[in-house]
Structure 1
Amino acid sequence: MNPFIEIITQPDNIAIVIMIFMVTFFMAWAFQQAFQNDRLKAAGMPVDGEHDQDVDTFRPLVRIELIISLVVMVFLTIWSIAVDAPLEEIANPTITPNPAKAPWYFLGLQELLVYFDPWLAGVVLPTLIVVGLIAIPYIDINPKGNGYYTFEERKYSIIIFSFGFFILWLLLIVIGVFFRGPGWLWYWPWQEWDHQRVVFEPTRDLTQLIGIESRSIPGFIIGAIVVIGYYVAGLIAPLRYWKKNNPELLAKLGMIRYYLIMFLFVTMMSVPIKMILRLVFLVKYVWITPWFNV
């Protein structure tokens, strides 16, 4: 059997395959409705739900939710009968499984461990994700797009959220489930998992690219300049651009909201940047300190 087919048909991976198709379907459906509403608004036609103040939720929502919940219960019952539970043998403390994978919903964080220190991948980044999600209602000043689908009126919010959710979360889960094998090495769908496989990929730190030892004082200073400079540029450059081109929006947003938004955005973009540095240039750390590594 093809190794990839064998992986995706494992009982504990079937749900992930279903999730991929469901996320793709609902994403395409949502964007289709958003583009349709944008065309209606461009033509001067009303959009369903745009001006609604109070909506009866029982008939259009609760009844549908009840029906869907019954359908899901029937589906899960049939699934539990047809597919064996992915239970393994009793754990043996003398044997470590290879690959040792976290539950699928944590595989995105486990994949981040390839690119970041554990304190960053396991503590700081998840905390910032939670803080960012909590802060959305308080930093979003755009009243449009409530109660109806739209892309044109909330394009930046949708693009940023979609990038963070689909690329930096779901894609990392898919990589961890289907493309990481023994030794947490990368395996393409057509490759067999080889437990004896050894890949020699000597990594280096950023300052070593210019011949400076990363753990030396000059390496420490250069790394600090790169990391701090990245955040300073990410916070100041958009501020200057908005002051020149859209001062009304900046005044409405306020400086506290602006700095919070840009800090979360710059931190989010550091994830793909660090992934590219690691995968393409084999750069392990940008800044090494006695207390933490970035």
Structure 2
Amino acid sequence: MDNFLKIISKPDNVAIVIMLLMVIFYTWWAFHQSFENDRRKRQGKPIEGENDKKVEVWHSLVRIEMLVTMVLIVGLIIWSIVLDAPIEELANPTLTPNPAKAPWYFLGLQEMLVYFDPWIAGVVLPGLIIFGLMALPYLDINPKGSGYYTFSERKYSILIYCFGFLILWRFLIAIGVFVRGPGWLWFWPWEEWDHNRIVFQYNVDLTQLIGIQSRSVLGFLLGGLVMLLYFGLGMILPYYYWKKRNSEFLIKLGMTRYIILTILFLTMIGLPIKIILNLTLNIKYIWVTPWFNI
């Protein structure tokens, strides 16, 4: 554990540790507030934050902001005195650091490069993330839960967002910072980083598991069929399930928003599926084409 303690105490990692702890705390606090409001609603009591009276910006809000600013300034001063700035020597063009890591906010993308080609991990997935965040206000048809904490009224939206934000983003960043060592190999917290460590991993494509070459015509067609079935059935089956039940949700959502929502959701779920396939079956690609690989 000495190596792990050394990693988390590095000046450029202290802020990441604080950020992760704050994310955990405020996530817990938000769920605590949500469950408390749900309990109050079941008991017929008013929901906290729903009918609060307005307060004046001056002096109520400005006073709180001023106190927070003072605390932050004092904290930054103490931080700068106790810890050195994470500034290294001038870059040496003849020496490549090992491990070579991107800035912390890109480590999630660098971790995805282990499982995807650069055009997917560095372009497609970040683009879909940005598009999905911009589309959220237009895809959300639930008017409840606005202005107050609640879980029961927006459970699916909350769980999906938390899965994407905490597991597929913050968790990947934590892996890149604390677990990935020399050669971008996996080192557990209790393991020392060995720069001479070599791990042999024989990756195969999905069609090779059944004896079909992935770059053959049959492998191309079979891989494309797998992708088509994944997105096709992932869109059709929920649609007919909700339509058979005369779901009001499906009627309000509409076909256009349903297609966009399911494509974003299936792409998001495809990320952990591909990671699990790589870690368990050493699958590198599901679909190999002359132009791109997935």
How does the TM-score come out when normalised to structure 2? Answer: 0.96
Give 3-state SS (helix, strand or coil) of 1:175's partner. Answer: helix
Q: Which amino acid aligns with 1:66?
A: M
Q: Which amino acid aligns with 1:161?
A: Y
The whole-number CA distance in structure 2 between the counterparts of 1:256 and 1:55 is: 38
Alignment of 1:224-235 (within 5 A): 224-235=224-235
The whole-number CA distance in structure 2 between the counterparts of 1:144 and 1:79 is: 42
Partner of 1:125: 125
- Decide whether aligned partners of structure 1 residues 199 and 267 sit closer, same or farther in structure 2, where only a CA change above 3 A counts: same
Structure 1: runs of 5+ lacking an equivalent: none
- Provide Cα deviations, 1:32-78, integer angstroms capped at 9, x if missing partner: 010000001111111123256x8446255443233212211221121
Give 3-state SS (helix, strand or coil) of 1:284's partner. Answer: coil
Partner of 2:26: 26
Structure 2: runs of 5+ lacking an equivalent: none
Partner of 2:103: 103
Alignment of 1:60-79 (within 5 A): 61-79=61-79
The whole-number CA distance in structure 2 between the counterparts of 1:194 and 1:246 is: 59
The whole-number CA distance in structure 2 between the counterparts of 1:216 and 1:173 is: 37
Q: Which amino acid aligns with 1:243?
A: K
Q: Which amino acid aligns with 1:184?
A: W
The whole-number CA distance in structure 2 between the counterparts of 1:65 and 1:293 is: 50
Give 3-state SS (helix, strand or coil) of 1:196's partner. Answer: coil
Query: Shift of the alpha carbon at 1:229?
Result: 1.2
The whole-number CA distance in structure 1 between the counterparts of 2:156 and 2:140 is: 11
The whole-number CA distance in structure 2 between the counterparts of 1:186 and 1:34 is: 37
Partner of 1:220: 220
Partner of 1:8: 8
Give 3-state SS (helix, strand or coil) of 1:153's partner. Answer: coil
Partner of 2:279: 279
Partner of 1:90: 90
Query: Shift of the alpha carbon at 1:138?
Result: 0.7
Alignment of 1:1-294 (within 5 A): 2-51=2-51, 55-56=54-55, 58=57, 61-294=61-294
Give 3-state SS (helix, strand or coil) of 1:214's partner. Answer: coil
- Decide whether aligned partners of structure 1 residues 63 and 181 sit closer, same or farther in structure 2, where only a CA change above 3 A counts: same
Q: Which amino acid aligns with 2:208?
A: Q
- Provide Cα deviations, 1:179-229, integer angstroms capped at 9, x if missing partner: 000010000011111111000011000000000011111010011001121
The whole-number CA distance in structure 1 between the counterparts of 2:113 and 2:55 is: 47
Give 3-state SS (helix, strand or coil) of 2:153's partner. Answer: helix
- Decide whether aligned partners of structure 1 residues 149 and 60 sit closer, same or farther in structure 2, where only a CA change above 3 A counts: farther
The whole-number CA distance in structure 2 between the counterparts of 1:62 and 1:143 is: 30
Query: Shift of the alpha carbon at 1:87?
Result: 1.1
Give 3-state SS (helix, strand or coil) of 2:287's partner. Answer: coil
Q: Which amino acid aligns with 1:166?
A: L
- Provide Cα deviations, 1:112-133, integer angstroms capped at 9, x if missing partner: 0001000000000000000000
- Provide Cα deviations, 1:1-28, integer angstroms capped at 9, x if missing partner: 7111111111111111111111111111
- Provide Cα deviations, 1:253-274, integer angstroms capped at 9, x if missing partner: 1111111111110000000000
The whole-number CA distance in structure 1 between the counterparts of 2:30 and 2:50 is: 16
Query: Shift of the alpha carbon at 1:30?
Result: 0.7
Q: Which amino acid aligns with 2:34?
A: A
Give 3-state SS (helix, strand or coil) of 1:15's partner. Answer: helix
- Decide whether aligned partners of structure 1 residues 246 and 177 sit closer, same or farther in structure 2, where only a CA change above 3 A counts: farther
- Provide Cα deviations, 1:86-112, integer angstroms capped at 9, x if missing partner: 111111111111100000010000000
RMSD, matched Cα: 1.4
How does the TM-score come out when normalised to structure 1? Answer: 0.96
The whole-number CA distance in structure 2 between the counterparts of 1:49 and 1:246 is: 34
155-164 or 91-100, which deviates more: 91-100
The whole-number CA distance in structure 2 between the counterparts of 1:197 and 1:217 is: 38
Give 3-state SS (helix, strand or coil) of 1:26's partner. Answer: helix
Query: Shift of the alpha carbon at 1:136?
Result: 0.7
